[in-house]
Amino acid sequence: MAQSQQTNRRVAQIVIYVFLFVCALLVIAPFVWMVSISFDRMANIQVPFPPSFIPDLFSIFNYELVFENGRIFRAYLNSGLVTFGSVVLQVSAALLGGYAFSKGRFKGKKLLFIVVLATMMVPIEARLIPLYSMFNHVGLLDTFWPVILPSILYGLGVFLTKQFFDQIPDSLREAASIDGASEFRTFFQVYAPLAGPITATLLILSFMGNWNEFVWPLVVLNSEQLQTIPLFLASFSLENGTALAGMTMALATMSVVPIIIVFVCLQRYIIQSVALSGLKE
């Protein structure tokens, strides 16, 4: 009986692994095809059909064309500035907010925390007109400020950091208070050094979200000199369609390289932060 149950369990595990493997292939296949087309010199003339995962004529010609176009460097710089500013603002606000909701004692804390969580249910499309009107009124349209400043509202980050700080004993804060440390000194010298895993997780999530942001920058950035990578890729695709598919896919591949680098460098901290923040299933 026990041997039969063990056999059934192994069969079930094999079925699950096969299913997950198939799902992984379905997710990875479009990315592999994109990279394949980017290295196919003939893709600028005709898109390979049916889709092929191996270039018919392997070449870096498409990437040479991309680098010859100086706009890509400007777009990378713009995306870097916007993403850096947004990530710093988001992560800092999330860490401070999460600490306040976790260790702070103030009236209306639970209600205010619910309001912060409720912001996650409001899509950017519902905020476009109010935000646009506000930044238009103060004369900041067609600058990077309208893209960076709204990122301070980061409900998910506040929730994750609160869950993380909840697992750290309050005795550390009490000991620091006895020694005469202020609240800010307690956060920066006691709790912040312990928040490495959750900080890395927020960096990954924030970087990916801001680097790939498209709708809001499309609304507020009108100058070609201010285009970020997603806007530049969209304008290039709109201008050329499938006529330069190889070059378009080379641009798309280059646009995800920074995300892959950041994720590979920091992804191991996600497991630590989830384990320490009590978010296990």
The model's pLDDT over 34-45, given as tens digits with 9 standing for 90+, comes to 888 888 877 766
Instruction: Categorize the per-residue pLDDT at 272 as very low, low, confident or very high, splitting at 50, 70 and 90.
Output: low
Domain residue spans of the chain: 2-62, 69-276
238-258 per-position pLDDT tens digit: 766 556 777 888 888 888 888
178-193 per-position pLDDT tens digit: 888 888 888 888 888 8
- Of residues 53 and 120, the one with the higher pLDDT is 120
pLDDT at position 36, please? Answer: 84
Instruction: Categorize the per-residue pLDDT at 79 as very low, low, confident or very high, splitting at 50, 70 and 90.
Output: very high
**In whole angstroms, what is the distance from residue 116 CA to residue 88 CA?**
19
102-135 per-position pLDDT tens digit: 888 888 888 999 998 888 888 888 888 899 999 9
**In whole angstroms, what is the distance from residue 181 CA to residue 184 CA?**
8
58 phi, psi to nearest 5 deg: -65, 130
pLDDT at position 241, please? Answer: 59
**In whole angstroms, what is the distance from residue 230 CA to residue 224 CA?**
12
Instruction: Categorize the per-residue pLDDT at 201 as very low, low, confident or very high, splitting at 50, 70 and 90.
Output: confident
Report the pLDDT averaged over residues 71-90.
91
**In whole angstroms, what is the distance from residue 210 CA to residue 132 CA?**
18
Domain topology for 69-276: MetI-like fold (1.10.3720)
- Residue 281, pLDDT above cutoff 50: no
DSSP 39-72: TBGGGGTS--SS--SS-SSB-SHHHHHHHHSTHH
Indicate the average pLDDT of the chain: 83
For residue 144, give the DSSP letter. Answer: S
- Residue 171, pLDDT above cutoff 50: yes
Instruction: Name 139's bridge partners.
Output: none
